[in-house]
């Protein structure tokens, strides 16, 4: 999964594993439409091909919580908290989707 995320990133992006099955991406875009397009592309790339760690294909998908940095954000935690809330909304809405929060 990390390889697929890395392939979808540009030099302006930063990807990090937060733990378990959660990753955080800081995208080098400034507007929500561009961020949403990038997130949808990543979602489609991941879902397009199953993983086969032991030769057995496993269908995978990602739920993405998306947010933009705001001028009032004082810490990275505030940004990540909004993204996390959007992620849980994406999971609650049926998974394999992008939700902006």
Task: Give the start-to-end residue ranges of the domains of the chain.
Answer: 2-100
Tell me the pLDDT tens digit for each residue of 22-50: 999 999 998 999 999 999 999 998 898 89
Q: From the candidates 21, 49, 72, 74, which is the catalytic residue? A: 21
Tell me the pLDDT tens digit for each residue of 51-96: 898 999 999 999 999 999 999 999 999 999 999 999 999 999 999 9
Residue that the structure tokens 């929060």 belong to: 101
Q: Are 7 and 45 in contact (CB under 8 A)?
A: yes
Residue 69 phi/psi, 5-degree rounding, is: -65, 140
**The pLDDT value given to residue 65:** 95
pTM of the model: 0.87
Q: Which CATH superfamily is domain 2-100 in?
A: Reverse transcriptase/Diguanylate cyclase domain (3.30.70.270)
Task: Classify 16 as helix, strand or coil.
Answer: strand
**Residue 22 a catalytic site member:** no
**Which residues on neighbouring strands pair with residue 23, listed in sequence order?**
17
């Amino acid at each position: 999964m990390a390889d697929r995320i890395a392939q979808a990133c540009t030099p302006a992006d930063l990807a990090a594993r937060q733990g378990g099955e959660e990753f955080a991406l800081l995208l080098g875009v400034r507007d929500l439409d561009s961020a949403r397009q990038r997130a949808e592309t990543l979602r489609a790339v991941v879902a397009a091909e199953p993983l086969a760690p032991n030769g057995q294909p496993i269908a995978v998908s990602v739920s993405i919580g998306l947010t933009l940095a705001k001028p009032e954000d004082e810490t990275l935690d505030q940004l990540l908290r909004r993204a996390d809330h959007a992620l849980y909304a994406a999971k609650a809405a049926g998974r394999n989707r992008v939700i902006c929060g």
